[in-house]
Chain A
Amino acid sequence: MKLRYRYPILVLLAVAGILVAVFAQSGGYTPGEFQSTNPNYPKPNPFYFEGKIDWNLLGITTPQNAWEYLQRGMHFQDDMNDIPDAINDYQTALSMNSLQSKTCKVVTMADLVMINGKLTVPAQITPAPCMFTLRLRLGFLMRATSPSTAIGLFQEVLQIDPQRLGVNTLIAETWVIEAQQATDPPTQQQDYANAIAAFQAELALSPVTQQSMALTGDTANNSKVHWELAQVYEATGQNNLAKSELQAYVSATKWHSDVYPWRIALANSQIQALAKVK
């Protein structure tokens, strides 16, 4: 062997020796692999993940089930501003998670089971639980073009969770759209009446109580609902009620202002104007 090859070979042998010694010392290392399943893809247990997951993290090529269609629909709507494709996906999802075709169910106490002395929900429910995000999203997009369909979807959400905040407001707002689209006065009056009932149902979900006042200092809440309800009362000529709602709106904004803060000044001005109306 020529001398010029000796040095590198000796070094290689030395390195190999070091490696052997190191591995012997450590007892042998085995590779640790990051979890094989996608940590961003939630497997229902039994409820679906209600919310939006970044589409690029889901690893879905073609949606295979209602939840995947919902996720792609949200991606179309929020990230691509592609409303027609979003509606298509939501409708496909709904066809796979439908109360009417019994491909989903509203979970009730009857579905609960006792495990370790505790009433809980089993990991699997057949058919799968109905999703509320899907119905809210699709309903919201259909408010102007098909208000009655939208209201139906929102009412299904109330079947799933009667205490969910904001759903009654969506129903009320959609009745207002119906009223504005109505051509005959009786229908319009009924639509407004339905809107008023829905707004009041929303208010009933977060009542102002002695306890809430003591904890927060708020004498009113839900400023948005009071504002919108006042507009309905005004549109239907119920001025005293309109004034009362505007006053509740002003009270509710006392410690919270509004996203449209000018409405507070406007409400005060309208209260004064309404006070003058006999």
Chain B
Amino acid sequence: MRVPVFTPAVCISALCLLGCGTQVHSVPNPPVVSFKPQAFQPPENCLPCHQRQFDELRSAVKSGYRNVSPLFNGLESAGNLVNGGLLRPVYKDSTVVLPDGTLLNTNMYTSPVLTETRQVQAGFCFTCHNANIEVLGDSDLTKREVPQLAGLGTCNPAPPAGQQCFQPQLFRPLRDYVMVDANGNQILPLAPGGDPPTGAMPSLAAAGITCDYCHDENGPDLNRSFQMDGFGNTSLLLNQTDLKVGPFLHPVAVKNNFHVASNDPDKIAFLRAGAFCNTCHDVRVPNRNLVAEEHNMNPGGENVSYFRLENLSTEWQIGPYNSTSNPFGQIVRCQDCHMSLFPYAGTTTYQVGDMTVTSPTPGMFATDYAAVPGVATDQNAPLQQRKVVEHYFTGVDVPLLTPTELSARLGPNYPDPYAAGTDTHGVPDGLATRRADLMKAAARLSLSKSDTTAQIGQKFTVRLEAVSLTGHRLPAGFSQERTVYVQLAVTDNNGFLLYQSGYVVDKPHPNTGENMPDGNLDDEDLEHLHAVVDPGMHTATYTAGTATNGGNNLVFEAGPDDGPDARIFVGAQEGLVLFRNELTQIFLPGQPIGHIDPVTGKSVMAKGVHFEETFQAALANAVDNFRSLQPLHPQTYSYEIQLPTQQQLQAMGVTLQGPLHVHAQINFEHFPPLFMRFIAGVTSANGPSGNNLNLVDEHRIDSLLKNVQNIASDDVTASLTP
């Protein structure tokens, strides 16, 4: 009889294989831990032994930047200003009583099961970006960085006797709270939204997603995920001990026992899997979705309905990269693109449909030390080099703050997003460069199926095939505002422009003080839609809702390049190819839609069931997450282009010369400028708070909103006949 020989290496490999898939495991009840309690640590405490990881993480937007981001803070403020602060956390000592008599004293993270919509709303944005801070501050007032607001959701109806209304003039953006003095005591700007006080330093909350946040993981929290699957809304259990979960078993012991490394193969496998990222990268908003019934599946959670804002994790979970049916023949995890050398470690050529694609290879990792040799280990035990991950977490975002502003809020020497040079692994130091390179790996297009001949006065069809190479749809994340689109132009041989789509025009923006075109195109909206969102206004007595707090569209007009509506709802082959998803507000009959009747001066009411795109996420009651480009699934979009007649050409004094040239390229727009201008308005001194929250203005839009042009392109020609 022969018995297979199980060497330790084989056993470890087998354990790894068991844990490296995407199946997630849960701890139904918090484990009984015997590790030394350890509060969440600031990343600086990890720096001495993990300098490289610290440096990389510091430039990741999910780390410090997001917490001081004008956009994130503005969006969170806009949501609170329309609903009376409901998105701010409540804590254990809360005395808020809900209309049904329930005491509201748990938030999105501390509620064991989310049975009330208000629990999900409580700390909705803050939880995803600072769950550890929310936990620390739940019972310890000295560690509570973001306070519970008074008068949540009031005054409509008026609050109970003895309680005050929500007071928008006292409202501060979250980032006001993430500063401390030299003694570690919280300090606030003098006025809401003011500049950092002298001597201000970043607090623990300012660090956002820290080393501890991930390495304190204790598995998914199925009870708080709406589908009981560990997806979304920070359905992650966190330890507060010195036990840290790393990516491999049996690391060398840590100097001075600063922490111990988990040898739990499940937790290690979880950290290494897409499932870990899934706990946060679906964002489900607790508003009723009028076109899709979804509610919390957990017992008691039936009344919590939601719509899917970020749906990235679900997209990956059911997509080709979470299988072996992709060009790489193996599961490609989030970590393989966002924590690897991607897109700087070689390319692979493969076939997608009838398109031959060459793109960067995922899952390539540098060889390096996981900790600093001679510093990190007990008795300076030697370390071995191994495959290590990058902690840049590069995505589509770059800070909308200057380097000076970043350093003022996040500490000196904050990495310049536009820095030149590369690190020791050959990865660019500048986040902007990494973002652009990542985007350029995201899609390909082809015009090869277009008509090869065109005739004056007739229709000419351009057929554009586009494919996303991403692990999720493109765009993903906040995909209802992140914008990927096709810019297309048809010219004759002399450069005479016959057709354009996906173009922008330099124009004034009087609503934010740009009264003349400024020569900048990155601050211009695409021409499928002309919209201006109501920024609201401050009133003596606050009433929740859109009447004075804004959010509805004051102007909402179809533009000349209206492809999204024409293509989706009508089936016409014309206009802008836009891969941006859409938040929709469905107005019910009789509801004010935000426009003002020019004759009566009164609000225009919905005469039927009226669907309209909204740029205020808090007002959305439907979402279309299928406009983005599905991964590895080429889509063809036709443009039926009417060429001018000979008579029209004569009237213009133009003679066309063949061949026609068709150029198409995919561009990425950081955020729609009109969305930024809404945030600018609602957080301005004229907005509902009555204070300039110092977040977004026209100058910031003009100077820092940088788009990525020409992610992919193609050109063809067509012969022209009279």
Interface of A with B (CB < 8 Å)?
5, 7-9, 11-12, 15, 22, 25-35, 39-40, 42-54, 56-57, 74, 77-79, 86, 106-109, 112, 116, 119-121, 123, 129, 132-133, 136-137, 140-141, 159-166, 170, 206-207, 209-212, 214-218, 221-224, 253, 255-262, 265-266, 269-270, 273
Contact = CB atoms under 8 A, between A and B. Distances in A.
Interface in B221-250: 222, 227-231
Contact of B609 (A49, A119, A160, A253): A160
B688 interface: no
A74 B572 CA distance: 11
Contact of B571 (A15, A42, A50, A137): A137
26 contacts: A22-B265, A25-B264, A26-B31, A27-B30, A29-B26, A31-B24, A32-B220, A32-B229, A39-B314, A43-B293, A44-B291, A45-B288, A45-B292, A45-B293, A46-B290, A165-B556, A165-B557, A166-B566, A215-B511, A217-B508, A256-B559, A259-B501, A259-B561, A266-B644, A266-B652, A270-B651
Interface in B544-591: 554-562, 565-572, 574-575, 586, 588-590
B455 interface: no
B500 interface: yes
Interface in B3-31: 3-8, 11, 15, 23-31
A164 B291 contact: no
Contacts of A25: 31, 264
Nearest to B567: A78
Contacts of B263: 22
B437 interface: no
Interface in B610-637: 610-611, 622, 624, 626-627, 630, 633, 635-636
B39 interface: no
Given A22-B265, A25-B31, A39-B314, A260 B642 contact: yes
A154 B628 CA distance: 27
Contacts of A123: 293
A162 B636 CA distance: 32
A166 B189 CA distance: 49
Contact of A7 (B5, B566, B630): B5
Contacts of B562: 166, 224
Which of the four size classes fits the interface of chain B? 35 or more
Contact of B6 (A12, A42, A253, A259): A12
Nearest to B32: A27
A43 B292 contact: yes
Interface in B450-506: 496-501, 503, 505
Contact of B569 (A29, A133, A261): A133
A8 B3 contact: yes
Contacts of A257: 500, 503, 505, 527, 560
B606 A163 contact: yes
A33 B220 CA distance: 11
B115 interface: no
B667 interface: no
B101 interface: no
Contact of A256 (B291, B530, B568, B570): B530
